[in-house]
Amino acid sequence: MTAEDNSISNNGRVVALCGGVGGAKLAFGLARILGDRLTVVVNTGDDFEHLGLHVSPDLDTVLYTLSGLANRELGWGRGDESWNFMSVLRDLGAETWFQLGDRDLALHVERTRQLRAGVPLTQIIGAFANSFGIRAEILPMSDDAVRTTVVTPEGALPFQRYFVERRCAPMVRQINFEGAGKAQPTAQVLAALRDPDLQAIILCPSNPFLSIDPILAVPGLRGVLEAARAPVVAVSPIIGGKAVKGPTDKIMAELGVAATNGAIAEHYRGLLAGLVIDATDAAERDTVGGPTHVTKTLMKSDEDREELARETLGFAARLAAMAGPKRMVSS
């Protein structure tokens, strides 16, 4: 195999679909390799109005991670943060279940101001990314509101109430994406996915149910992915039957799905050309139902992120070079 077979060519572009913490880690690695040849399409189903502000948790995690500003311990927010605003809110007896750092707050205030002035979210995020020195293109999945709600035995909970306030404790019966039916994909997202130089579409190791599904629920996007000539490759968020962080495995159990790599492949059936799984799950390789690349997928350091990005791009390039069907079938 030549070097070209094993990597993305110099003018090749890549689109990554991504949620927050888990997805942003791989997006960071991809951005290190690809720079401005990377487009990251980010879930906005987690967006909500809080204290009169428009908060976009996943977009902001991607902005902070790709700019190197992220708080690596917490996995959300900025590293260089102070908490005066929260402390005064507490004194006032106001709502404090959702943490907003002082520096982070500026982003929400400015985003809200611009949205109220009629500026599309795509344009706002593009300008924020620019000001943070990010070369990759970061796009919200839509400029229209899509709001994830989680149906539990206690009733339907808005996403952040479920995720942050209730710490994912209520059992998940169903997940809805309010407004998805009427949301429009943006011209920028469609252009990125239809770019003739597109060489791979990567589904980051984000929560498939809460982070990737809302993106696929935007009318037209699933079809564009299905029709894409570039291979769609997912990196599994499940290692050893567990999520690295967050409720992915818990939700899978509650929805009656085993927390396996095969179930991740099955979830993305009709879209995937191949799945990347962790070396500890090598034995699952033959249960995935199609091309599987086994490597270390746990990303602790920046080098881990870049290495997994390189492995994933190499796998996608090999799949693109392969003759035959470009989509995995059900196992």
Instruction: Give the binding site for ligand GDP (CB under 6 A).
Output: 19-23, 25, 58, 205-207, 211, 235-237, 239, 243-246, 248, 297-299
Placement of tokens 């070079």 in the chain: 321
φ/ψ of residue 44, rounded to 5: -120, 10
Cβ pair 172, 149 in contact under 8 A: no
Q: Which is nearer to ligand GDP, 128 or 162 (CB)?
A: 162
Task: State the minimum distance, in angstroms, from the CB of residue 238 to ligand GDP.
Answer: 6
DSSP code per residue over 245-308: SSSHHHHHHHTT--SSHHHHHHHTTTT-SEEEEEGGGGGGGGGSSS-EEEE-----SHHHHHHH
**Contact criterion met (CB below 8 Å) for 293 and 311:** yes
Shortest Cβ 1–ligand GDP spacing (Å): 25
Nearer to ligand GDP, 12 or 107 (CB): 107
- Type of residue at 95: E
- Rounded to a whole number of angstroms, the minimum distance from the CB of residue 304 to ligand GDP is 7
| Cβ proximity to ligand GDP, 20 vs 262, nearer residue | 20
- Terminal C-alpha separation, the chain: 28
Nearest to ligand GDP of 165, 197 (CB atom): 165
Pick between residue 23 and residue 262 the one whose CB is nearest to ligand GDP. Answer: 23
Cβ at position 20, least distance to ligand GDP in Å: 3
Which residue has the closest beta carbon to ligand GDP?
22
Q: What strands, in cross-sheet order, belong to the sheet with 147-152?
A: 155-158, 147-152, 174-178
- Cβ distance to ligand GDP smaller for residue 232 or 244: 244
Q: What is the CA radius of gyration of the chain?
A: 19
CB of 215 to ligand GDP, least distance (A): 11
User: Which of residues 251 and 328 has its CB atom nearest to ligand GDP in the complex?
Assistant: 251
Report the SS3 class of residue 92. Answer: coil
Q: Cβ 243 to ligand GDP, closest distance in Å?
A: 3
Least distance from ligand GDP to the Cβ atom of residue 277, Å: 9
DSSP class of residue 180 equals: G
Distance, in Å, from the CA atom of 62 to the CA atom of 47, rounded to the nearest integer, reads 14
Closer CB to ligand GDP, residue 236 or residue 260?
236
Cα 172 from Cα 175, distance rounded (Å) = 7
> Least distance to ligand GDP from the beta carbon of 237, Å?
3
- Which sign does the torsion angle of CA 37, 119, 44, 110 carry? positive
Distance of alpha carbon 113 from alpha carbon 131, whole angstroms: 17
